[in-house]
Amino acid sequence: MRQMNDISAATLNDILIAEGDLHAARMAIFHSSGAGYVVFRNFLDGAQLRHMRSFWLDFDVAASGFLPFSGKAAFRPECPNFVSKDDAGNCVYHNFLWNPPVDELTWSAAWAVHGIRSRISGRSFFAETLPHGGRAVSARVTISRQSQEWIPQHRDYMNHDRRFEKNQFDFSRIQATLILSKAGVDYRGEGFRFQRNDGAEVDLAVAENLAPGDLVLWRYNNLHSVGSVEMLPGGSGFMRILFPLEEMHAAPEIAPSSRSFLARLAANLFGKA
């Protein structure tokens, strides 16, 4: 008998979670008796997993058109993709769905994962896929090779400083992690730590014996963090794809001094910017 938090019926080839599994997934994530997460075993098959790992481990940033990541204030409708790297070999690739896909499989997986998440949380399959309306999904390919504390412990959608804004205490939000590496084989360390609904803190990779290709959907409001990670010889490090709903910002205003001569002339003649 499979566990309530282990739903193996949905894969990338299926795209959709079965209607009968929606209730079980919601109970596992949201109910106090649930774990706070569900696991879709073998969401990627062997060929899909090998391709995705190979593509991102050998990704040619110079030829990709990705811009250096300068902070989330740069996320806006129709913005390009971004990349951040450090001297320890840690890297993050921010992929937005409105850009031409650099990898068709990753792009397809992002649509499928977000659609499954939306259905479990009671939203439209296509909710927040496009950059209008405040937030939009991205596929954040993350490879942690050497770090002491990658992401400090925190809760999402529970921002006390912005408590009077809409959705700052949204308990229905779900995050997703597509696992592309194996603890004890590709890396060692704390990895992804998660506080279950019963308050117990677990290393999810160890507690659930997560394998590359597994998909985990988990409650965003629960405390979580990524601790120390050390890449093992011959391994990839802690490699996964997250699917955050990023806040979209307005395009920056163009300073008058940087406008073209014709634009400034029109502004002077007709009073238009």
Q: How far apart are CA 236 and CA 72, in angstroms?
A: 26
Position 40, amino acid: F
Q: State the angle between helix axes of 104-120 and 46-57 in degrees (0 to 180), rounded to the nearest 10.
A: 120
User: CA 255 to CA 273: how far, in whole Å?
Assistant: 11
Dihedral sign for Cα 158, 161, 164, 166, please: negative
The 10 Å CB-count burial string (b at 16+, else e) for 190-223 is: bbbbbbbbeeeebbbbeebebbbbbbbbbbbbbe
User: Given this model, what pLDDT does residue 71 score?
Assistant: 95
Within 13 Å of residue 188, how many CA atoms lie on the same side as its CB?
Answer: 4
Per-residue pLDDT of the chain (273 residues; tens, 9 = 90+): 345 566 656 788 876 788 888 999 999 999 999 999 999 999 999 999 999 999 999 999 988 999 999 999 999 998 999 999 999 999 999 999 999 999 999 999 999 999 999 999 999 888 999 887 788 999 999 999 998 877 788 888 776 677 677 666 788 899 999 999 999 999 999 889 999 999 999 999 999 999 999 999 999 989 898 889 999 999 999 999 999 999 999 876 555 554 555 565 555 555 544
Q: Of 2, 3, 5, 1, which is closest to residue 217 (Cα–Cα)?
A: 5
Number of H helices, E strands in the chain: 5, 16
In the prediction, which pLDDT does 212 show?
98
Beta carbons of 223 and 155 less than 8 angstroms apart: yes
| pLDDT score of 273 | 47
* Cα gap 109→129, rounded to integer Å: 13
- Alpha carbon dihedral 208, 150, 81, 254, in 10-degree steps, equals 140
Q: Which fold has domain 19-270?
A: Jelly Rolls (2.60.120)
Cβ–Cβ under 8 Å, residues 179 and 109: no
pTM for the model stands at 0.85
Q: Quote the pLDDT of residue 263.
A: 60
- Given a contact cutoff of 8 angstroms between Cβ atoms, the answer to whether 79 and 72 are in contact is no
Going by the DSSP 8-state scheme, the letter that residue 180 receives in this structure is -
